[in-house]
Each structure stands twice: as C-alpha cells, then as structure tokens.
Amino acid sequence: MAQAATRGRSRRKGLLNIIPGGRCWLCGQSVNRKLPPEHPAAPSADHVRPLSLGGTHTRRNLRLAHAFCNRYRGNAEPVVDDDYRAALRPLLRAEVNAWLLKWAMNGGRG
C-alpha cells in the first residue's frame, strides 16, 4: 500500500515536469506549482483524452490543471473544447479562488 502511494506521487511529479506553462488549461488561472498535492488548487496533470478512453501519459495528451478543475472535469467529459471551457470557467475560477483564499487565511495550511 505504502509503496503504491509512493509510486503514485513520483508518477505525478514526473508528469508535471514534462508539462510547460503556469496556467490551468480548464479555468485559465495561474497554478502555484509549490502547493502540496493535497491542496485543491495544487498542480495536476490533466489528460486531454482520459486514460479510461485510451489516453496516454504523453506530453501531447497532458495539460496543466488545478487538482480541483481536473477532478471536476473527471472522465465524464472526454471532449474539452473552447465552448466547454468557456461555460465552466466562471464556476471553476470561483471555486479555485475560494480555496486559495482559505489557504492564505490559514497561513498556508489546510
């Protein structure tokens, strides 16, 4: 169990390292790459084509996204186009900003 968790963390870091840029491709806001993985606004690697639909861990299939935005999208929306992002953006931005504000008010904890 512990070994699997360690592998998961290094896989996550490895994927993030091959993704350039500092903005979430879903909500369009900047991503703080220093936030710890458990933070909802932490950086995550979103798969344009979900793994469950045959997507791969390749640079072409990866985009930087907040963990929250990534989870919100989930695997339910295999096609993410400009319309989809434009429709979701206000909601995602509000959520991410609320998490970041809470984080700041707690002095960078929780």
Binding pattern for the stretch 65-94 against Zn ion, x by CB under 5 A and - elsewhere = -x--x-------------------------
53 neighbors 78 (Cβ within 8 angstroms): yes
- What is the nearest approach in angstroms of Zn ion to the Cβ of residue 41? 7
Closer to Zn ion by CB, 32 or 61: give it: 32
Q: What are phi and psi of 47, to 5 degrees?
A: -95, 120
Region from 5-13, 21-29, 53-61, 77-85 binding Zn ion, contact rule CB under 5 A: 21-29
Nearest-angstrom CA–CA distance, 17 and 61: 14
Which of 95, 20, 97 has its CA nearest to residue 63? 20
Cα torsion angle, 100, 57, 75, 82, sign: positive
Based on the shown chain and the rule CB under 5 A, indicate whether residue 15 belongs to the binding site for Zn ion.
no
41 neighbors 66 (Cβ within 8 angstroms): yes
Based on the shown chain and the rule CB under 5 A, indicate whether residue 42 belongs to the binding site for Zn ion.
no
Closer to Zn ion by CB, 1 or 38: give it: 38
- What is the nearest approach in angstroms of Zn ion to the Cβ of residue 53? 21
Residues lying near Zn ion in the complex (CB under 5 A) are found at: 24, 26-27, 66, 69
